[in-house]
Amino acid sequence: MTLSDKTYDVIVIGLGGMGSAAAYHLARRGQRVLGLEKFTPAHDRGSSHGGSRIIRQSYFEDPAYVPLLLRSYELWQELAESTGLEVYRTTGGLFVGPPDSLTVAGSQRAALEWDLPHEILEAADIRRRFPSFDPADGEIALYEANAGFARPEMTVQAHLDLAAREGADLHFGEAVTDWHDSPSGVRVTSGNAVYHADQLVICPGAWAPEVLSDLGIPITIERQVLYWLEPAGGTAAFDDQPIFISENTEGQQIYGFPAIDGPDGGVKVAFFRKGQECTPDTIDRTVHPDEIDAMRDRVTELLPDLSGPAVHTATCMYSNTPDEHFVISRPAHLTNVTVACGFSGHGFKFVPVVGEVLADLATSGTTTHPIALFDPARLVTT
């Protein structure tokens, strides 16, 4: 191990969705940035992969997220224009279920509170406008034209490329083994070197319980499975359909996308919050036949043509807080550290704005963005 002879303004640990965006926003502000990532760029070992992530504004989790979403949409567009890449696409979104379900009622609550454009569709309206869908007679949907999807691997790589263009030093295949905060700055130790900086931003993803073990933030890691099913009759009928989230009478949610991976790529669908607790070292990355059968059985209740075999599957991890809200904060007992973790399976749509928030916190200690909901004081047990 060698002692680095170069000091930085900010070190970013973890260069997945949030860390890559933080590195970019810091570097574009003229900060000397070092980014450390234990895997390769835009890797598939954590939570920022799988080809697509839903973006939406009618946010059933809590209307308090909406201002961040509106800014995130601006930054998605800015990222697309800066790179010439389709990092996101609006397709419209259907949020389907019983009228009193969280998916429908919560989405409507957010839409009304923030005056977001939306429509309420009865089951017959859904079938007429979107023929692939066959909801139960008692179900309705909130339709949001501004919903769509982001491309996670492309987004991470785009932020990394922009960060490097702005002068950030980005190291891959370099795992952090220790970090230390003091009034004079931070020290970060990897398997290769010891680095020093004024500030530290930690975006550990599913490694949060390990990297942030001393902070007492309760986070559990959960295995999730992604499925690409072959539609009966081919993918053509699914090319232009909206993204969807569907909740049944038992409160079980599933979600899915248009057929964005070509005629042989199937249609991506998944359960939301139907996983098994794991760690990054113990996760079972094999997808089993009974899991595929359960997914097919559930999704064909809404989309009958998704009855074919799985053409592809993958696993990823949720990092869940007890209340399923994020952690974004400068811990009070630390001097120069900002943390972002616990994104609980619904964080990727916020990647651009979280990068901006983390750059604010690392450079000025505060932000004008509304992040009180994400204070870890609500969760800390020690």
pLDDT band (50, 70, 90) for residue 4 = low
Which residues in 330-367 are b (16+ Cβ under 10 Å) and which e? bbeebebbbbbbbbbbbbbbbbbbbbbbbbbbbbeeeb
- Residue 144, SS3? strand
**Side-chain half-sphere of 366: how many Cα atoms within 13 Å?**
1
Alpha carbons 378 and 256: distance in angstroms, whole number: 32
Alpha carbons 170 and 156: distance in angstroms, whole number: 13
CATH number attached to the domain at 53-150+220-320: 3.30.9.10
pLDDT band (50, 70, 90) for residue 1 = low
Structure tokens at 231: 């539609």
Q: What ranges do the domains of the chain cover?
A: 7-48+153-219+323-378, 53-150+220-320
How far CA 7 is from CA of 32, 149, 228, 320, 364, in Å, comes to 8, 38, 46, 34, 19
Whether the CB-CB separation of 36 and 190 falls below 8 Å is answered with yes
**Does this chain's domain 7-48+153-219+323-378 share its CATH topology with 53-150+220-320?**
no
> Average pLDDT for residues 114-132, to the nearest whole number?
98
pLDDT at 274: 83
107 residue type, one letter: S
pLDDT band (50, 70, 90) for residue 382 = low
pLDDT at 273: 85
Lookup result for tokens 């891959």: 172
Structure tokens at 139: 């179900």
pLDDT band (50, 70, 90) for residue 275 = confident
Instruction: List, for residues 76-105, the tens digit of each pLDDT value.
Output: 999 999 999 999 999 999 999 999 999 999
Alpha carbons 66 and 60: distance in angstroms, whole number: 10
> Average pLDDT for residues 21-25, to the nearest whole number?
98
Q: What is the pTM of this model?
A: 0.96
Q: Running DSSP on this structure, what letter comes out for residue 105?
A: I
Alpha carbons 114 and 105: distance in angstroms, whole number: 14
Q: Is the pLDDT of residue 37 over 70?
A: yes
Whether the CB-CB separation of 183 and 199 falls below 8 Å is answered with no
How far CA 78 is from CA of 72, 81, 82, 87, 239, in Å, comes to 10, 5, 6, 10, 26
Q: Is the pLDDT of residue 380 over 80?
A: no
Whether the CB-CB separation of 274 and 252 falls below 8 Å is answered with yes
| Domain 7-48+153-219+323-378 of CATH type 1.10.10.10 | no
Calculated CA dihedral for residues 15, 18, 19, 23, nearest 10 degrees: 120
Q: Running DSSP on this structure, what letter comes out for residue 377?
A: G
